[in-house]
Chain A
Amino acid sequence: MAEETLVVLKRREMSEPWSFQTFVDSGGYQAIRKAVTEMTPEEVIKLVQDSGLRGRGGAGMGTGLKWSLIPKDSPKARYVVCNGDEGEPGAFHDRELMETDPHALIEGMLCAAYAIGARHCFIYCRGEFILARDRLAKAIQEAYDNNYLGENIMGTTFSCDMVLHRGAGAYICGEETALLESLEGYRGMPRPRPPFPVTEGLYASPTVVNNVQSLQAAGQVILNGAEWYRRWGTEKSPGTLVCSVSGAVNNPRNVEVPLGTSVADVLELCGGVDDRGLKAFAPGGWSTPMLPPDKLDATMDYEGMVAAGSVLGASSIIAVPNDMCIVRAVWRGSKFYSHESCGKCTPCREGTYWVERILEDIEHGRADERDLERLEAVNNGMSGFKSLCALAEFAAGPVGSSIVHFREEYEEHIRLKACPHQMQAVAS
């Protein structure tokens, strides 16, 4: 039986872990002290690179690698931006990390700022997260009051400011370039890449955008070393990972495990699947292709999930119970994507609109076989990397994977001209 390995969640059981006192009493701000007083920025970047830490925001790019891509010779200001816009259906780890350990995030950002030579940091915190906002705001104030932010931090020549920025209800602002547009005061619509944020990010200046967990983990890595971090996880996916687990499980919650832990073990840590039984699960949030129960031994790491036919994404397992109609679930998901599509590019704007409509018709018994063909056609049309950002891919994932694994459920809807689950519910 797997065990939890608390690295970024290490303060979760402490009393008032968000307070400045608890933080410093438990080793807080030692990572940035070490970095600034004992290391050059290059050494910091190298250390993070050596640890093999990969971004937890979804794409899994090496965190140290990203930092190293900031042009050394650019005369422009550099920025560190934390992506705290967590909105992936099923994901709730970043919220917990911001709410319980805000100082650890500040420290991680300071390390990033020191490493890349940034003077300004921004936390883009999802608008609906009031508690996270309040705790972060207080923590930032405390950090200023104690000279961990502002001029000449800890009496060194390193100075850094931090601004807490709020989102206002748009999933797409989790996409890094949309986030930057939003932070610049525009509609949160993604930009074409390249140029990537590391060369032209915020205000067209070199910018590191990192996920909350990536930044907090980076702080730990700097404090404890690359080898220490590599004690956990796999060769290509070292370290630990916070997984959000929800849906049909007995004890839904965040668990932190070494990368490479199997889905079955993670579910076990959450009290197992509840008595409705497991029909399917999405391993990385709803936006990742769903898998059938026979893939429960797939491992929660970047390579393992690809091997199983999905992706690690936001490492958030949603357990879909047996009594849930797959078409209904996918339809509900499709509403999410059409509601959250920014509308900038054609495949996503039109595709999500049409997928939602066809799924609605299938679920309500208004569709024929040709609609299933149409569904697949639009879904294929919007995927295949034709869109500007990955949201269209995300939207296509559940539809495509559900047709692969549960085609007969779609066909049954069409045959019965109704949803079999609804019929059952009415009957009983």
Chain B
Amino acid sequence: MTDVKATPERSGGAKDTVTITVDGKQIEAKPGELLIQAAEEGGVYIPRFCWHKRMDPVGACRMCLVDVEGSPPIPGTQSRRPQTACTTVVREGMVVHTQFTSDEANEAQKTILELLLINHPLDCPICDRGGECPLQDQTQDYGPAESRYTQQKRRYVKPVPISPLINLDRERCILCYRCTRFCEELSGDVLISTMQRGPEAFIFPFYKDPETNGHDAAVRGPLSGDINETFDSYFSGNTVQICPVGALTSTGYRFKARPWDMQNTESVCNLCASGCSIYAGVRVQDGNVARINAATNEDTNEEWLCDKGRYGNEYISSSERITQPWLRRDDALVPITWDEAFRELADKLAPVLAGDSDAGMIVGGHLCDEDYYAAQKFARVVLRTNNIDFRTEPGPSADAVVAPGVTYDDVLGSDLVVVVGTDLREELPLLFLRMRIAASKRGLPIALVHPRAVSLSEHAQLHVRALPGAVPQEITQALRGKERPIVLLGSRACSSEAVAAWNATGARIAWLPRRAGVTGALASGAHPDLLPGWRRITDDGDAADIANAWHVPVPAKAGLDVPGMLAAASSDLGVLWLVGADLSDVPGGNEALDKARYVVVQDVQNCSAVDHADLILPAATFVERDGTLTDWEGRRQQVNAAVDPPGSARADYAILAEAARRLGRPIGCRTHVQVKDELDGLLDGRTSIGAATQRAPEPPRNSDGLRLLTYRLLYDDGARLRASEGIRELTPRPFAEINTADAERLHVTDGANVKIASARGSITVSAKVTDKIAEGVVFVPWSQWGVGGHQLVSWDDQNPTLVVEAVS
């Protein structure tokens, strides 16, 4: 639907406000603004169902009818034609009477409400939306007590699971088109549409040919709901949240709780670095997180979430949670108390503390800032080592670190955004969504460097199909003369050479971490070569700052990075401590753990590392503790405890602080506020870091046969995600995407199996033959159902040369 756009230019006037009168009240409105919004901002709420301020108005539900002076008359009456406030653009001097002051408007709205209820099932007592349903509320406020109509209402099979995550109950639908407009205008995933027409119209995904499934759909009417394609969109959950009735409901939440049973805690999602504000809804009776909804935050997620953030949190209440410490004794894990755990630690760390042995810490990507800070301080102050790292996947070396500073607003207001080496929809879904909206609604100029046609390709003005690392001339040229150019570097495009080359274009650069904690990890110094506050360990002044703050010297010896620690785990490292780090699909991870001398696993739930653990420490999830999270922009936002941790689990920073105290080398802060304050002091004003060395980057060559491209899809084998059944069902099977010409040469056919081998290993997956990927490149997702690119790469070669063979 391409309806009225509330663009400012429509009104034309140069004045920056127009004055209108609503129910006798003078309201200053913005030129081009819609009456419904202007009135609301001025304190007069006009009821509505279809209108949503982030989408173009459709004027469909007609609930917002008001009386506007000067409208044409209704022939044969004294009245004027009512107008929909949601499609009426304010005009200077406009005089409006709403339901509060006009009998006609009031009557019109009542009529609409009654008509809406005519076919509505009124099954409120069993409806998930009951208690927070605009239709219910309006009926209570204005509506008739009972329906005057006795004839047969529309009937549909109810509910239809239109995806593993979402149910659709068509009887309740009032056809406001919010869901379909969301998909069409905002997410771009047109996977549900209005089907049929008139009173028989309904919202549905692509459904099965009635010829083959025996339904009588040529005659309009209820279909049983056999579908061809599920509503498989990363953003589908938003449609549930904006549905004004209970037509779309979340499978996971269905019948779990009623709105009035729920306590909502505002927090931040920690499943990626987008920094989305959320409400964690906790059912008071059992203290379980019943649902996650988007909270409104104009700076970050507006009011949207991706489905991973919304539905990917079932691990929190899963049976796989670790709820107490465990110790491996004679090859079996036995439950122990915290006290025993700390004594065990003291025992095992004694040689380390004595300086006779070394230790290392690998931290995961989903921790809070305070956890990273506590961990690196623990490493440096207690273990006296710089062996701490979060980079279980490609991440920047100290000379390639770009301190954050670019914001959503900067990106959306740029005159050219270059996105290098990242598939944003898979990595930062909300940044993708907001850029997509800006591109499709306002033509935000975008250029891409990526070998595949990825999520933003259809909106890109320029797309250079090169492997990460390349700095194509077309793009650097396009950046010339731009006033607000921005380059967004994906996590795989952050070599120091690339950073230097992009820096040279004069554009502002942002580095896009995929995981929620990474910016915090960098800022906190959870990196062998970095200290808190973006300080470099090799900089004497920086090191002295920290030593002064801590009253302890910073260890001088260079620290090991993740591959370094994995290699040393069987030799130099007496203890390898994993804090929320899952190494199951990290190259060499399982092998290293297998041979490691002693492994501490500190985590929220069972993961493959547990099989190798000597000591297990139970950690709290992000909804069970307070803290801060720093998103890709560098924006630090508050994470709030919504529930208590299960069993004796504790926040990561608290475990580390307590361990330090027990080990006799306290890290000086125990509560999250203390940790935060200390970190704040060291971060103060420090957001920049020296420019990277200026070297021409070496673009990876495609000429020597096929090269691998691999990265994580949004739905992958992530340990936490595995607990969310719906998402699991939607998780793609492993595949290899290969260019048509390459496929032809290698006799690979679409859908058939191919064997893909690198120097490190080989896998067999099904082939997707397409022109959407550059010639000479084969894309294999990092890790899907146990198989993926992680089996082919090595630490120093993320784009290995491949041998591809058709498998018969």
- Tell me the A residues contacting B by CB distance below 8 Å: 170, 181, 184, 186-187, 189, 191-192, 194-195, 204, 306, 338-347, 349-354, 357-358, 361, 374, 377-378, 380-382, 384-388
Of the candidates B61, B112, B154, B198, the one whose C-beta lies within 8 Å of that of A352 is: B198
A272 to B2, CA, bound (A): 48
Partner of A354, one of B58, B84, B108, B149: B149
| Given A350-B116, A385-B82, A386-B108, A343-B200 contact (CB < 8 Å) | yes
Query: Nearest CB to that of A360 among chain B residues?
Result: B151
Once the chains bind, are B115 and A347 in contact (CB under 8 Å)? yes
When chains A and B are docked, how far (Å) is the Cα of A349 from the Cα of B75? 23
Contact B197 A350, beta carbon cutoff 8 Å: no
Candidates B1, B4, B57, B114; contact of A189 at CB < 8 Å: B1
Q: Does B59 contact A (CB under 8 A)?
A: yes
User: Do the beta carbons of A357 and B151 come within 8 Å of each other?
Assistant: yes
Q: Tell me the complex Cα distance, A377–B10, Å.
A: 38
Question: Can you report 23 residue pairs joining A to B where beta carbons are below 8 Å apart?
Answer: A186-B1, A186-B2, A191-B2, A192-B4, A192-B84, A194-B89, A204-B2, A340-B198, A342-B201, A343-B175, A344-B175, A345-B59, A347-B115, A349-B175, A349-B201, A352-B198, A353-B198, A354-B149, A357-B152, A382-B115, A384-B79, A386-B108, A387-B62
- Report the bound CA distance from A184 to B3 in whole Å: 12
Q: Do most interface residues of chain B lie in helix, strand or loop, or is the interface mixed?
A: loop
Shortest C-beta distance, A118 to chain B (Å), equals: 20
Q: Are A184 and B2 in contact (CB under 8 A)?
A: yes
* Chain A residues with CB below 8 A from B112, complex form: 346-347, 386
A350 to B199, CA, bound (A): 6
Known: A184-B2, A347-B62. A338 touches B198 (CB 8 A): yes
Q: Is the CB of B60 within 8 A of A381?
A: no
The 6 closest A-B pairs by CB, nearest first: A343-B201, A353-B199, A192-B59, A341-B198, A385-B81, A192-B87
Q: Which residues of B contact A385 (CB under 8 A)?
A: 74, 81-82
User: Could you tell me the distance between the alpha carbons of A346 and B244 in the complex, rounded to whole angstroms?
Assistant: 15
Interface of A is mostly: helix
A346 touches B57 (CB 8 A): no
C-alpha gap A27/B118 in the complex (Å): 58
Shortest C-beta distance, A413 to chain B (Å), equals 16
CB nearest neighbor in A for B113: A346
Shortest CB distance A196–B (Å) = 11
Q: Which residue of B60, B61, B175, B198 is within 8 Å of A339 (Cβ)?
A: B198
Write out the residue numbers on chain A whose beta carbons fall within 8 Å of the beta carbon of B200. 343
**Does any Cβ of A come within 8 Å of B65's Cβ?**
yes
Give the docked Cα–Cα distance between A109 and B62 (Å). 36
B119 interface residue per 8 A CB criterion:
yes
1/0 contact trace for B56-96 toward A, CB 8 Å? 01111111010000000011000101101001010000000
- Taking a contact as CB atoms under 8 Å apart, the answer to whether A341 and B199 are in contact is yes
- Interface hub of B1, B3, B81 (most chain A Cβ within 10 A): B3
B residues less than 8 Å from A354 (CB atoms) = 115, 118, 149, 151
- Judge whether B4 and A386 touch: CB under 8 Å: no
Beyond A184-B2, A354-B115, 20 extra complex contacts between A and B, CB < 8 Å: A170-B197, A181-B2, A186-B2, A191-B4, A192-B57, A194-B4, A204-B2, A306-B75, A338-B198, A339-B198, A343-B194, A343-B199, A346-B61, A346-B174, A347-B111, A374-B148, A378-B115, A384-B108, A386-B62, A386-B112
Q: How far is the CB of B766 from chain A (nearest CB, A)?
A: 34
Whether A187 contacts B115 by the Cβ 8 Å rule is: no
Q: Mark B105-136, 1 if CB is under 8 A from A, else 0.
A: 00010011011101100000000000000000
A residues near B116, Cβ cutoff 8 Å: 346, 350
Chain B interfacial residues counted at CB < 8 A:
44
- B318-341 interface with A by 8 A CB criterion: none
A-B interface contact total, Cβ < 8 Å: 119
Asked if A345 contacts B61 (CB within 8 A), the reply is yes
Decide if A353 touches B119 in the complex (CB within 8 Å): yes
A192 to B4 alpha-carbon distance, docked (Å): 7
A301 to B81, CA, bound (A): 24
Task: Determine if B118 and A192 form an interchain contact, defined as CB atoms under 8 angstroms apart.
Answer: no
Nearest CB to that of A170 among chain B residues? Answer: B197
A337 (CB) vs chain B CBs: closest residue: B198
Instruction: List residues of chain B with CB under 8 Å of any chain A CB.
Output: 1-4, 10, 57-63, 65, 74-75, 79, 81-82, 84, 87, 89, 108, 111-112, 114-116, 118-119, 148-149, 151-152, 154, 174-175, 177, 194, 196-201
Roughly how many angstroms separate A195 CA and B75 CA in the complex, as a whole number?
23
Task: Flag if B81 contacts A181 (CB, 8 Å).
Answer: no
Q: Which of B57, B65, B154 contacts A353 (CB 8 A)?
A: B154
Residues of B close to A351: CB separation below 8 A: 115
Chain A residues closer than 8 Å to B89, beta-carbon distance: 194
What chain B residues lie within 8 Å of A353 (beta carbons)? 118-119, 154, 198-199
Contacts of B2 in A (CB 8 A): 181, 184, 186, 191, 204
Nearest residue (CB) in B for A187 is B194
Give chain A nearest CB distance to B763 CB in angstroms. Answer: 42
Cross-chain contact B58 with A344 (CB below 8 angstroms): yes
Report the nearest A residue to B193, measured CB to CB.
A187
| B26 → chain A closest CB, angstroms | 24
- Residues in B neighbouring A347, C-beta threshold 8 A: 62, 111-112, 115
**In the complex, chain B residues whose CB is within 8 Å of the CB of A374:** 148-149
Nearest residue (CB) in B for A366 is: B151
Contact in complex: A388, B108 (CB < 8 Å)? no
Q: How far is the CA of A72 from the CA of B792 in the complex (A)?
A: 63
Min CB–CB distance B51 → chain A (angstroms): 11
Chain A nearest Cβ from B692, distance in angstroms: 45
Contacts of B152 in A (CB 8 A): 357
For the complex, give the distance between the alpha carbons of A191 and B200 in Å: 20
> Are A345 and B3 CB-contacts (below 8 A) given A338-B199, A350-B119, A384-B82?
no
**Inter-subunit contact A388/B194 (CB<8 Å):** no
Instruction: Assess the A346–B3 pair: CB atoms within 8 A.
Output: no
Task: Determine if B62 and A358 form an interchain contact, defined as CB atoms under 8 angstroms apart.
Answer: no
Question: Which of A181, A352, A386, A388: most chain B CB closer than 10 A?
Answer: A386
Residues of the A chain whose Cβ atoms lie less than 8 Å from the Cβ of B1? 181, 186, 189, 191
Q: Note all chain B residues with C-beta closer than 8 A to A181.
A: 1-2
Selected contact of A386 from candidates B65, B194, B197, B198, CB within 8 Å: B65
CB distance from A361 to the nearest CB of B (A): 7
In the complex the two chains form, is A191's CB within 8 Å of B3's CB? yes
How far is it, in angstroms, between the C-alpha of A382 and the C-alpha of B198 when the chains are bound? 14
Chain B residues near A344 (CB-CB < 8 A):
58, 60, 175, 177
| CB-based contact A346/B198 at 8 Å | no
Contact residue among B10, B59, B74, B197 (Cβ-Cβ distance under 8 Å from A388): B59
Partner of B60, one of A186, A346, A377, A380: A346
Q: How far is the CB of A176 from chain B (nearest CB, A)?
A: 14
Contact (A187, B197) CB under 8 Å given A345-B62, A358-B151: yes
Q: How far is the CA of A349 from the CA of B220 in the complex (A)?
A: 14
A306 CB to nearest B CB, Å: 7
Query: How far apart are A391's CB and chain B's nearest CB, in angstroms?
Result: 10
Residues in chain A near residue B151, CB distance under 8 A = 354, 357-358, 361
Docked pose: A181 CA to B197 CA in angstroms: 14
B196: nearest residue on chain A (CB-CB)? A343
Known: A345-B62, A346-B60. A192 touches B3 (CB 8 A): yes
Q: In the complex, how many angstroms separate the beta carbon of A144 from the nearest chain B beta carbon? A: 30
Which residues of chain B are near A186, meaning CB under 8 Å?
1-2
- Determine the distance from Cα of A345 to Cα of B75 in the docked complex, in whole angstroms: 22
User: In whole angstroms, what is the CA distance A352 to B84 when docked?
Assistant: 20
Residues in B with CB closer than 8 Å to A184 are 2
A66 → chain B closest CB, angstroms:
17
| Chain A hits for B79, CB < 8 A | 384
CA distance A195 to B81 in the complex (A): 17
Q: How far is the CB of B431 from chain A (nearest CB, A)?
A: 29
Assuming the contacts A346-B174, A347-B112, A374-B148, asked whether A388 and B60 have C-beta atoms less than 8 A apart, the reply is yes
- Across the interface, which residues of A come within 8 angstroms of B61, CB to CB? 345-346
| Structural contact, B62 and A342, CB atoms closer than 8 A | no
Distance A308 CA – B59 CA, assembled complex (angstroms)? 33
**In the assembly, what is the distance between CA of A381 and CA of B57, in Å?**
23
> Which chain A residues border B57 with CB–CB below 8 Å?
192
